[in-house]
Chain A
């Protein structure tokens, strides 16, 4: 008997990703599912604060645009859509999506909403939980907590799919699990700690950043060239119930898929490659082999897994003060010395005015803003001063940009092109919560027509 196979497309790799390649995948990729991964670590905290201020919906700001572009071709071809675009309010995102489906005249307007990742109350009741990053008890940040969300797994995503709704929206789900869910569901794969789950997890990990496996974030002209990067296609994975995985993309799209692009993405955001922890399993990548299986096709084999842990990782977003940023450019002879002097002046003026900063830095974009100071760098023709101040005092943060702009008439010669910004800093730390305390559940909104 031939192996059963499912094809999963990747429609987004971050909150603000492009959606034309997703539409292209739905229309030309012969896919069964498309999943949009749109939640970075701080996104839920950001959406929570925006909603609290009345400046946002609580869900992904591009949900409307993405759904309007993707739902009609997906409905026409029977492609089911999944996304964690629900962010801080998956139920509101589901209701909006059902409304959009109605406005578009689609027959089946159901949206299965996965809930239960929001565990603010559960963690607040356990202030002694140790923070994984700082080692301090949770209570040290509890008063400033904006969000606490458990990374749900593929079992919960698969359960949402079992409702039959054409769209599944979630809040926090582990990135690979958003893809492993439909694989487990479509192939009837047991949710065990076996090597097929490991292979499915690798497929999810390779897909979760969309264009980052098809040649995005890869090009280095003359060293690593990528054809047609402007028309970068998004990837899909073919996964069989015997565990075979092949990564590919649509013909006539830009980009490239080969062993090099897949290796970069395989190790992306990985700590110990022998113990990549997801809610579904503990993946061991050390035995993985990647092989080119045709033009823009790479097969993946050799992933192994150990049993999943007894806890869910919970990401806690909290308010951690303000960042003030002020910038001004200098060009031509002596640009570097003038910019350095300007940075010293701003730092001294902020000190004289009595502002307190947790960190205050003056760096030169073009010289040392990314990698810090270093020897033997040639003097650039232009540099851009960037002064940044981290502070608990909003007025101090505002003063950074103010003092940089004041350099025009009160600083060195030839400063140009000022910019200033103040933003709230949302920090993230994590705790582990026993599985029994997290209760994923599914609510279906919209009707089947």
Chain B
């Protein structure tokens, strides 16, 4: 069965000017290790391609079992000048949770 981020973690999104941050917080240590291997900046950027130009930066917080993603240049001129329904990008945590993970093997 396809494993998604939602199976391993919870998430919250917040806005920072023209970028959005989405934290991904693992339910346990094994989940954190797998997410660290498989939830790469490139994978997140691909999932957000329709919404943001990028780039995507990832920060690891092993003491908290969390990854923090910063997604640059969200479409519409950023959260403070946009016509989008979700002007703050607050629903983007839910998009993050839909991302499928490739498998148990480290990516080549």
Tell me which residues across on chain B come within 8 A of A370, comparing CB atoms. 85-86, 91, 94-95
Contact in complex: A220, B63 (CB < 8 Å): no
Tell me which residues across on chain A come within 8 A of B10, comparing CB atoms. 220, 223-224, 260, 264
From A272, A325, A373, A430, name the one whose CB has the most chain B CB atoms within 10 angstroms. A272
* A42 at the B interface (CB under 8 A): yes
Q: A263-B23, A302-B63, A374-B50 are in contact. Are A41 and B80 (CB under 8 A)?
A: yes
Quick one: which of A168-225 are within 8 Å of B by CB? Answer: 217-218, 220, 223-224
> What are the interface flags for B62-92 relative to A under an 8 Å C-beta threshold, 1 for contact and 0 otherwise?
0111101010000011101111111000011
* A426 at the B interface (CB under 8 A): yes
* A386 at the B interface (CB under 8 A): yes
Which single member of A223, A273, A365, A372 contacts B68 (CB below 8 Å)? A273
* A427 at the B interface (CB under 8 A): yes
Contact in complex: A260, B61 (CB < 8 Å): no
* B43 at the A interface (CB under 8 A): no
Tell me which residues across on chain B come within 8 A of A260, comparing CB atoms. 10, 25
Contact in complex: B61, A369 (CB < 8 Å): no
User: How many contacts between A and B, using CB within 8 angstroms?
Assistant: 111
Interface majority SS (helix, strand, loop, mixed), chain B: mixed
Quick one: which of A403-431 are within 8 Å of B by CB? Answer: 425-430
Residue of A with least CB distance to B75: A372
Contact in complex: B17, A133 (CB < 8 Å): yes
From A220, A290, A371, A386, name the one whose CB has the most chain B CB atoms within 10 angstroms. A371
Contact in complex: A286, B61 (CB < 8 Å): yes
Q: How many of B's residues come within 8 Å of A, CB to CB?
A: 38
> What are the interface flags for A362-389 relative to B under an 8 Å C-beta threshold, 1 for contact and 0 otherwise?
0101000111111000000000001011
- In Å, the complex CA distance between A374 and B47 comes to 9
> What are the interface flags for A257-287 relative to B under an 8 Å C-beta threshold, 1 for contact and 0 otherwise?
0001001111111111110000000000111
Q: How many of A's residues come within 8 Å of B, CB to CB?
A: 52
Which single member of A285, A372, A388 contacts B61 (CB below 8 Å)? A285
- In Å, the complex CA distance between A363 and B83 comes to 11
Contact in complex: B61, A273 (CB < 8 Å): yes
Q: A267-B66, A286-B63, A320-B81 are in contact. Are A133 and B18 (CB under 8 A)?
A: yes
* A104 at the B interface (CB under 8 A): no
- In Å, the complex CA distance between A42 and B82 comes to 13
Tell me which residues across on chain A come within 8 A of B91, comparing CB atoms. 370-371
Which single member of A220, A269, A365 contacts B14 (CB below 8 Å)? A269
- In Å, the complex CA distance between A323 and B77 comes to 13
Shortest CB-to-CB span from B53 to chain A, Å, is 13
Quick one: which of A130-163 are within 8 Å of B by CB? Answer: 132-133
Binding site for A on B (CB under 8 A): 6, 10-12, 14-19, 21, 23, 25, 50-51, 57, 59, 61, 63-66, 68, 70, 76-78, 80-86, 91-92, 94-95
A-B contact pairs, 26 of them (CB 8 A): A42-B80, A133-B78, A223-B10, A263-B66, A264-B12, A267-B23, A267-B66, A269-B15, A269-B21, A270-B16, A270-B23, A272-B59, A274-B59, A325-B83, A359-B83, A361-B83, A369-B85, A371-B50, A371-B51, A371-B95, A373-B50, A374-B50, A388-B83, A388-B84, A427-B80, A428-B17
Ranked 6 nearest A-B pairs via Cβ: A372-B50, A269-B14, A427-B81, A267-B23, A428-B80, A388-B83
